[in-house]
Structure 1
Amino acid sequence: MQMARWKSVGAALLRVIAVWAVSTLTMLALAGILPDFRLQSPDGDSATRVAVTAASGAGAFGLLSALVWPLLVRALLLVPAFVLGLLVFALNGSLLLLALNLIPDGRGTAEPETAVVVAAVMSAASSATSTFLTVRDDEAYHRRLVRLADRRRRRLGGGDGRPQPPGTVFLQLDGVGHDVLRDAVRPRGNRPPLMPTLAGWVDTTHTLTPWRTDWSSQTGASQLGILHGSNEDVPAFRWYEKDTGRVMVSNRPTSAAELQRRAAARTGHEGLLTVDGASRGNLFTGGAEELALVLSVAARRGRHNRSRSGYFAYFRDPANATRTAGSFLAEVLRELGQSTRARLRRETPRVGRGGLYPFIRAFATVVERDVVVAAVMGDVLSGRTAIYADLVAYDEVAHHSGPRSRDTHQVLRRLDRCVALIARAVEHAPRDYRIVLLSDHGQSPGATFADAYGLTLEDLVRAGCGLPVPRRAERTPTGAEARETARAALRRPERAGDGHCPSDTGSDGYGPSDPVVLASGNLGLVSFPDVPGRMSREEIDRRHPGLLRALADHPGVGFLLVRSERHGAVVLGADGAEHHLDTGRVVGRSPLEVFGEGAVAAVRRTARFPNAADIMVNSAYDPVTGEVHAFEGQIGSHGGLGGAQSHPFLLWPVELSPPTRPGEELVGAERVHAVLRRWLREADGPQIPRQVAAAAAAAGTGTGTGTGAGPGTGEESRRPGPLAAASPAVPPPLPDKTR
């Protein structure tokens, strides 16, 4: 035992010496290259003296980085994430200047801007060396993982020596439809699959299963249902609420927090991750205590916003900031090149990709990806029970480049590498893990409604109401999730309501009785704010006699949903077609027929939502090409019915019980929640505190999510109390050989 301890100390000392030596050589090389960086006196020094100076500077910089750096980053957690990322370089450079000032006789000098460069390069070199040596020493690596696990067990009151049940990692590949993933794991002629890691899992260790979304096929509704068990009364990505007079937007922090609160009140529990869970990069917490980049808590200010701890865990290593900054810049340049190529080739359909979009894309595909993956690896290496993370890169790029473009193929390859990194971390975890991959929706291609027909949905509605149509249509903000996440990271205030709300009066000619027209992909919502409650079909016809026919007969519109005083929920289509949802009566040909199986049930469910708009408009759908027409600026869209957007995937380990019975289809995000909760119970017992389960059983209560019957749809719990959880451990560095 004593010999092993001395051997461990010796190996650690050798690693420190090796890192010091590499840092010294790096400093010497930079001093020879950079004109404003000097390691000798003005009169010159011998090579030995210069080497001693470099070693002194490298040693001082290493000590300051190890002792002072984590304290600085933690003190700066209250600043915006982007600002923190930039401050990393300035602070790192300041530490180097301080280290140079500690060298005797003032031999080390550097200009401030040069110090930033030198510090970044040295941090990257030392981190790479430490990573290489630590991972090559398997015994040392294993010992560190054991220490992490033991430390965490002590925090949670465990450590009794009993083997831990397997944990579960849920990785959400945002926007990746079942058809896209299926094709990405197939060989392409003589070329390998786009996603080789997942290709090796399908039909071996994992099973690929499609599922069908609700009518609102977007992250707000799907992830709320998946994480919290209810997406009731969420009719779209954005909608107008007459009782409060405000526009709800799923990716706004305040709206996300309100939606999460409503779901918890409806189900009686806080979510999927209430027991020892972690939520990373999501719109909602899922009830987890450990959070990073979670939008529903981004509106919180102050030191208690635990979502920001993910930045600390990532940026406390200066090498991470260096690598991410380089990748961020490369992604911005890649987007500029790809958009220029699309414009020169006159590719169609095409949307504008200028302004801030290159930076929004780089945030989604680089910054958010790196922070989320690092957080998940830390969760895995610390042995957390349940982890749910969202990687939004594909969804962001597909909105602007198309779901099956060459641009998205590159993103799929990088997502596969992220999954491979997490899988490699699982191999070193202190407990077994089951990795479940899933998506929240797919994406359907197609030109925008405005490009296809020369007018926006708002133009069409205003014309049908006999109102003036503005000469220049206002651009509808995109519903891409990364945009508001980036704004939250920058600490930017939320924007005013999308669309024209009753308060938006002025010289543009909009008044308090004008309709509020909102877009959620290829789903449009029309509300009349001056009429309390949901306006009936008969009232709309009396007030605006030509509106419903103008909408239903337009070639870019697939169907309308309205409420009739006589017939209840009614779907209207072209040429007078009607489908009465309450009675099943069809006049002519059902407008929902082209949208396939499940369309009637999906629309009927939304029709009973109190927040359903006065008129719900779904764009036309071409079943041959799979194309729809988004009512906002997207050539890959989701939010309504039509095509691949309604068919996400579930890739689950074969040792888990099947998500459905044979021949049964998995329908709705609430059903997916029930399946995931059942899998957590199978792995680790009831996913609620036992005292809460006992109280709920005594009261004879259940979650009552309202989903259909199927395996694991029941739940024996009500709202769980808070569970103290340890902070995520920072994982030992793993070499990213797949990048």
Structure 2
Amino acid sequence: MSTPLVRTGDLGRIVATFVSSVLALAIADAVLSGLHFASFPQLLAAAAATFLVGALVRPLLVAASAAVGWLAVLLLAVLGQAAILALALTLIPGVEATSFWVVLAAAWIAAAAATIVAWLCTSGTPEAFTAVLVRRTKRRRTAVEDPDAPGVIFVQLDGVPFPVLRWQLMAATLPTMGRWTREGGYRLVEWTPVLPPTTPASQLGILHGRIDGVPAFRWYDRALGRVLVSNRAADAAEIERRATDGRGLLADGGVSISNLFSGDAERSVLTMSKIELKRGSVDTRRRAAWYLARPDGFAGSLFGAIAEIARERFESRRQRRRDVLPRGHRGWLFAGMRAVTNVVLRDLNTALVAEEMIHGTRVVYVDYVDYDEVAHHAGSLRPESLGTLDRLDHVLACLEAVAAEAPRPYRLVILSDHGQSQGAIFADRYGIDLAAVCSQLTAAQVEAVEQSVEGWGRLNGLLADLAGGASGTRRVAHDAAVRVQNRSAPPTVTTSSELVVLGSGNLGLVYAAEEHRLTMEDITDRWPALIPGLVNHDGIGFVAVMSTEHGPLVLGPSGVHRLSDAKVTGDDPLAPFGPYATADLLRAVSMPEAPDLYVNSSVDPDTGEVSAFEGLVGSHGGLGGWQGRAMLLAPPDLVIPDQPIRGADGLHRVLVAYLEQLGQRTGVSRDTADV
């Protein structure tokens, strides 16, 4: 049976859109003195003209703004609807509009009304956004050469611990993933990232199969003489250059969306290692322009962002009012960052993935940071953090609906890159930060980098990939991206600096600002009080160091663990940190990039709480708690190995096997490497 050109649901949406436009123009006529319709038929004609002109003109505006640059995309979002309405009103005789600003105000009233009607029609759920993407998929779906070959969408839910997702599924609060596990045969398993459990180390392993060379989220590079920060574009490019062999997870026609590294993808969008501030992505601007040009797109994200800011301010005040502990500072700056990552970036990522599915892209890897961003500041088990999982579940429902209309079947594989641990901030609990402790013990000149910068990197990635060249409107986006990048940049290590102290969750890194690594004996000769002072601090669980005589060692207040042969003298300092601690630290301390001292906070044996050296209540990067417990949720026809998955490189092999099982990676040679 043939498919009708216009479905009942489509007709209903057209009628709802038309009625909301008529209502919005009537409201604008009532509240704006510079706009006047002589009769009700004029209102109907103006609404119809706006609908028709928008359908004809909007694609042209999208193409033009994407070609010109980022500022044009923004201007399209702000002024595009007004231009469409102004053009429509010129077609209706007798309508009075005294100025373009009156038309602009009327256009925004219309956009607000459309958003409210969409919200009412979907009972406040993201179904309207899903419906838009599904309709777009049906209209623009392109034929592929191998329509029966399945594609794969890898969805990274950043920072979600395995126990948290399992509990949410048991509580039946995630309807989409719950249905997959109850009725669809999906399996949820735990996998264990190695030290450090943080996004750059895990994503490098997942996407490129390499877990070496990344000792933390940021570290002092002795060869370069500066701090590398993994979510800065130039540094991410350098990290990937060192790791890639050309055979990453996405090497065979894949696309990377909103990640730190590309996985050797054919195309990368909003991916830090592939961003160049001197030239943005026309493709990214085109796709963003399509979304922003729609009344329900930009207006929906704008009002959604405002609602997210209001939600964050309410939730942070609720924590203070109830004296919830531990807690950290949650100001207006974080509220704005949360609105970007948890509304604008989430919707844009979903639209970008849907666009790839429309064209039948074989494999996509996308990172959603919603949970990670909120949990860092609110706590990993707090209601607001768990609430993000509900909204991410809606995203998965949206991708599932788009996949049903795509030109090839798709498998959705859900995973996290690490977990999270909760606890009071180290400086709040002990009244001093790690850099100050080191300074007191050594009287040395210390450069400290302990502020959290993950959210800034995500905003910078969005701005930089939307930026254009170095002239005209594109310079505005370029300059904005540079300012955001500088906001997250670490201080320069000067010649007067003697120690560099970095915080990466509850893992501290202490470097002598020199070209060569210092051993325990070197440190003891130069700063005899440093190691004993750190080891005996109440907030520090252990210190790991390389010894000239004994090799890699872990030192605790009443014992020493020699990592080369697991010999323990006295009380084992690694006993509270789980069965993998010895192997993790042996590998980490042996890396050339390792600091002179690894400093890990203590862990509460009853609650699993740790103390971050950054200003975060939820953290990851060291040992202790759930930060080393990640998850994988896979469909039933993709084989999960019987043995535990250990390390992001181990997960990489599992995901590559999925692609091979589905007939992909035919264009990736096992015998050659493109370095």
The correspondence of residues 38-437 of structure 1 with structure 2, limited to 5 A, is: 38-40=35-37, 45-49=38-42, 51-56=44-49, 58-65=51-58, 67-79=59-71, 84-85=73-74, 87-105=76-94, 107-109=96-98, 111-121=102-112, 124=115, 148-149=140-141, 151-153=142-144, 158=145, 163-187=147-171, 193-202=172-181, 204=183, 205-264=185-244, 268-304=245-281, 306-437=283-414
Which one of 486, 504, 507 corresponds to residue 459 of structure 2?
A: 486
Cross-structure match for 1:705: none
Distance 1:146 1:53 in 2: 29
- Give CA deviations for 1:377-412 in whole Å, capped at 9, x if unaligned: 222233221111111000000011101111112111
2:454 equivalent to 1:462: no
Distance 1:404 1:421 in 2: 26
CA contact (8 A) 1:426 1:432 kept: yes
CA contact (8 A) 2:195 2:585 kept: yes
2:495 equivalent to 1:495: no
2:561 equivalent to 1:561: no
Displacement after TM superposition at 1:51 (Å): 4.1
Cross-structure match for 2:419: 442
Which one of 489, 492, 496 corresponds to residue 512 of structure 1?
A: 496
Cross-structure match for 1:30: 27
Structure 2 unpaired stretches of 5+: 464-479
Distance 1:420 1:37, change over 3 A: farther
Cross-structure match for 2:520: 537
Secondary structure at the aligned position of 2:216 is classed as coil
Secondary structure at the aligned position of 1:569 is classed as strand
Displacement after TM superposition at 1:719 (Å): 3.3
CA contact (8 A) 2:543 2:600 kept: yes
Cross-structure match for 1:718: 673
- Give CA deviations for 1:571-616 in whole Å, capped at 9, x if unaligned: 11112x2112123322112211211111111111112211101111
* % identical equivalent positions: 36
Distance 1:556 1:310, change over 3 A: farther
Distance 2:153 2:628 in 1: 24
Distance 1:514 1:202, change over 3 A: same
Displacement after TM superposition at 1:195 (Å): 1.3
Distance 2:147 2:361 in 1: 14
Distance 1:24 1:647 in 2: 50
Displacement after TM superposition at 1:101 (Å): 3.4
Which one of 578, 583, 586 corresponds to residue 601 of structure 1?
A: 583
2:571 equivalent to 1:571: no
CA contact (8 A) 1:238 1:249 kept: yes
TM-score normalised according to structure 1 size: 0.81
Quick check: 554-563 or 24-33, which moved more? 24-33
- Give CA deviations for 1:418-459 in whole Å, capped at 9, x if unaligned: 111111222222222211110001100100111111100001
Displacement after TM superposition at 1:58 (Å): 4.9
AA partner of residue 239 (structure 2): L
Distance 2:603 2:538 in 1: 10
Distance 2:34 2:548 in 1: 80
Displacement after TM superposition at 1:500 (Å): 5.5
TM-score normalised according to structure 2 size: 0.88
Distance 2:66 2:117 in 1: 22
Distance 2:628 2:553 in 1: 22
Distance 1:21 1:393, change over 3 A: closer
- Give CA deviations for 1:49-105 in whole Å, capped at 9, x if unaligned: 55445544554444333x4332243135434xxx84565022322332233234335
Distance 2:18 2:497 in 1: 73
- Give CA deviations for 1:127-167 in whole Å, capped at 9, x if unaligned: 899999xx99xxx9999857744x342xxxx2xxx652211
Larger Rg: 1
CA contact (8 A) 1:64 1:99 kept: no
AA partner of residue 478 (structure 1): S
CA contact (8 A) 1:297 1:307 kept: no
Quick check: 104-113 or 634-643, which moved more? 104-113
Secondary structure at the aligned position of 1:233 is classed as coil
AA partner of residue 73 (structure 1): S
Which one of 596, 607, 629 corresponds to residue 614 of structure 1?
A: 596
The correspondence of residues 683-698 of structure 1 with structure 2, limited to 5 A, is: 683-685=662-664, 687-689=665-667, 693=669
Distance 1:125 1:197, change over 3 A: closer
AA partner of residue 75 (structure 1): A
CA contact (8 A) 2:456 2:488 kept: no
CA contact (8 A) 1:39 1:50 kept: no
- Give CA deviations for 1:644-693 in whole Å, capped at 9, x if unaligned: 000100111121112x33xx2211101111110010000124x151xx62
CA contact (8 A) 2:156 2:415 kept: yes
Displacement after TM superposition at 1:232 (Å): 1.1
CA contact (8 A) 1:297 1:305 kept: no
AA partner of residue 374 (structure 2): V
Distance 2:76 2:161 in 1: 38
AA partner of residue 628 (structure 2): S
AA partner of residue 650 (structure 1): L
Question: What's the RMSD between the two structures over aligned residues?
Answer: 3.3
Distance 2:8 2:316 in 1: 51
Distance 1:326 1:478 in 2: 27
Secondary structure at the aligned position of 2:344 is classed as helix
Which one of 642, 651, 654 corresponds to residue 675 of structure 1?
A: 654
Cross-structure match for 1:704: none
AA partner of residue 541 (structure 2): G
Distance 1:143 1:547 in 2: 63
Distance 1:186 1:215 in 2: 29
Distance 1:552 1:120, change over 3 A: same
Displacement after TM superposition at 1:255 (Å): 1.2
CA contact (8 A) 2:460 2:481 kept: yes
Distance 1:116 1:301, change over 3 A: farther
Secondary structure at the aligned position of 1:339 is classed as helix
Cross-structure match for 1:710: none
The correspondence of residues 611-650 of structure 1 with structure 2, limited to 5 A, is: 611-650=593-632
- Give CA deviations for 1:9-66 in whole Å, capped at 9, x if unaligned: 99999799858854662454334443246343xxxx444455445544554444333x
Distance 1:237 1:97, change over 3 A: same
- Give CA deviations for 1:488-519 in whole Å, capped at 9, x if unaligned: 4343322278665432xxxxxxx624200000
- Give CA deviations for 1:153-191 in whole Å, capped at 9, x if unaligned: 2xxxx2xxx65221111111111000100111112xxxx
AA partner of residue 477 (structure 1): Q
Distance 1:16 1:364 in 2: 29
Displacement after TM superposition at 1:254 (Å): 1.3
Cross-structure match for 2:471: none
Distance 1:538 1:296, change over 3 A: same
Distance 1:376 1:502, change over 3 A: closer
Displacement after TM superposition at 1:118 (Å): 3.6
Distance 1:499 1:62 in 2: 47
AA partner of residue 170 (structure 1): F
CA contact (8 A) 1:165 1:431 kept: yes
Displacement after TM superposition at 1:623 (Å): 2.6
